[in-house]
Chains A and B, each alone.
Chain A
């Protein structure tokens, strides 16, 4: 493993399988009466979150605590950032207190790379702008692998706001690396230019994209990142791209439906699909803790010599 986990490109195929296998072992710890192992005792991990997050921050914190690390959360609303401090200055000040790892969530793409250059601590990207969210892609792959026993050769269809989605980018990079056939679908205004170069099939027709799919992954319409009119209305969007029972029926009979959360019910996904038998959305959340434990454990070791 490299020093930091900033994006999927930091990982070899071997690293990915090692993370997923390690996560299998980590998951068992969450089922014990005492859900804690002493592995990262004495390590300090700072969770630096510049964007609101419930799932990811909680998931990292639980993972850190189950490995016995000392963790602290910096919520930006109550920090010196509101007094005008830059990210680099905040990072160097935290670094001066010698943490071992920094988990960073930031609205700007590449924020993790900036920290990586100026910090000795290991940096884990917990979502940077519209760029990457590697641990989400890893937990998605873990969930898919558990249900399908493989990733290679599966048809995975990702539908929704592709333009603003870091989850999309990390998932495309990871799933194509592991040999899945990835289809993407969404309104043309929300399909990033040149996405086909990442090795995915692009189809504006959702019914074609989901036909025969093994996995359907729905992405949230990220209204907070939209400046301008990308879609006519949320109701129109639901009619054209929302995941309904009728559309699910076009996929394989054993399809699984995923969503990285937070969900907008009735916008990208119908409630009866989100809560239905194909949905693995809450499993994704549960697996997130195990996958993050695996990443924390593996990154806490030595750096590869090459």
Chain B
């Protein structure tokens, strides 16, 4: 995982001249520590602090209130302590699957301003897209069956770094 993130960090720097314009936004929950790690790696490479924020997309989901039973998903705080106007935003998430989370994240992010560009960083792309969305930086392509599920564990949250494929 750390090698994938280091490679992504280098790719980001290679593709984006003008690092002052960059900012990282992690999608809650596991995109947040990934964004922070990328910020640290970029800092180690060229001693520049990339502003980092976190985005909760719950209120933008397209599957809210579709069932009559069960509680609403928990909403957590969004913290983007910088203006996204005219910045290149690197949106970070752990797993790219249907693309619906990213659709929600794009809608959420655009309410904060008008970024110059938004690029997508994911640790794992497991396929099965339902929307026309593609990642710009991928840690690992992981072909999966629909019935399987992919769980990313991160040291900051789960105590260990691991990508797990769960069989049905």
B77 to A297, Cβ gap below 8 A?
A: no
| Stretch from B19-27, B60-68, B88-96, B122-130 that touches the partner | B60-68
Instruction: Say whether A18 contacts B74, CB under 8 Å.
Output: yes
Cβ–Cβ contact B74 & A33, under 8 A: no
Q: Which of A29, A32, A297, A302 contacts B69 (CB 8 A)?
A: A302
CB contact list, A291-305 vs B, under 8 A: 294, 297-298, 300-305
Question: In the assembly, what is the distance between CA of A39 and CA of B112, in Å?
Answer: 16
Q: Are A38 and B107 in contact (CB under 8 A)?
A: yes
Main secondary structure of the interface of B (DSSP, over half): loop
Contact B75 A25 (CB under 8 A): yes
Q: Known contacts being A38-B59, A39-B64, is A297 close to B71, with CB within 8 Å?
A: no
Q: Which residues of B contact A28 (CB under 8 A)?
A: 77-79
Are A302 and B71 in contact, CB atoms less than 8 angstroms apart?
yes
Complex Cα distance, B75 from A39, in Å, reads: 11
* B111 x A34 contact (CB < 8 A): yes
Contact across chains for B67 and A302 when beta carbons are under 8 A apart: yes
Distance between Cα atoms of A67 and B107 in the complex (Å): 14
Q: Say whether A21 faces chain B, with CB atoms less than 8 Å apart.
A: yes
A51-65: CB near B (< 8 Å → 1, else 0) gives 000000000000000
Residue-wise, chain B 32-73 has the 8 Å CB interface mask toward A (1 for contact) of 000000000000000000000000100110001101111110
Q: Confirm or deny: A205 has a beta carbon within 8 angstroms of a beta carbon on chain B.
A: no
Q: Is the CB of B111 within 8 A of A301?
A: no
* Interface residues on chain B, number (Cβ under 8 Å): 22
| CB neighbours of B107 from chain A (8 A) | 38
Q: How far is the CA of A22 from the CA of B58 in the complex (A)?
A: 11
Say whether B112 contacts A302, CB under 8 Å.
Answer: no
- A15's nearest neighbour on chain B, judged by CB, is B71
A302 & B75 in contact (Cβ 8 Å cutoff): no
A304 — which chain B residues lie within 8 A by C-beta? 69-71
User: Does B70 contact A301, Cβ atoms closer than 8 Å?
Assistant: yes
Q: Chain A residues near B140 (CB, 8 Å)? A: none
Distance in angstroms between the alpha carbons of A305 and B71 in the assembled complex:
9
Interface set, chain A 263-306, CB cutoff 8 A to B: 294, 297-298, 300-305
Assess the B72–A297 pair: CB atoms within 8 A. Answer: yes
| Chain A residue, CB-CB nearest to B113 | A33
B144 to chain A, nearest CB (A): 29
**Nearest chain A CB to B155's CB is how many angstroms away?**
24
Residues of B within 8 A of A297 (CB): 59, 72, 75
B78 touches A301 (CB 8 A): no
B76 within 8 A of A: yes
Task: Kindly state whether residue A123 has any CB partner on chain B within 8 Å.
Answer: no
Contacts of B79 in A (CB 8 A): 28
Question: Which residues of B does A touch, CB under 8 Å?
Answer: 56, 59-60, 64-65, 67-72, 74-79, 107-108, 111-113
16 contacts between A and B (CB under 8 A): A1-B71, A21-B74, A22-B75, A25-B78, A29-B59, A33-B113, A34-B112, A37-B108, A37-B111, A38-B107, A67-B59, A294-B75, A297-B75, A300-B64, A300-B72, A304-B70
**Interface, chain A (partner B; CB < 8 A):** 1, 18, 21-22, 24-26, 28-29, 32-34, 36-39, 67, 294, 297-298, 300-305
Known A24-B77, A39-B59; further 12 A-B contacts with Cβ < 8 A: A21-B74, A22-B74, A25-B56, A25-B77, A25-B78, A32-B111, A36-B111, A37-B59, A297-B72, A300-B64, A301-B65, A302-B72
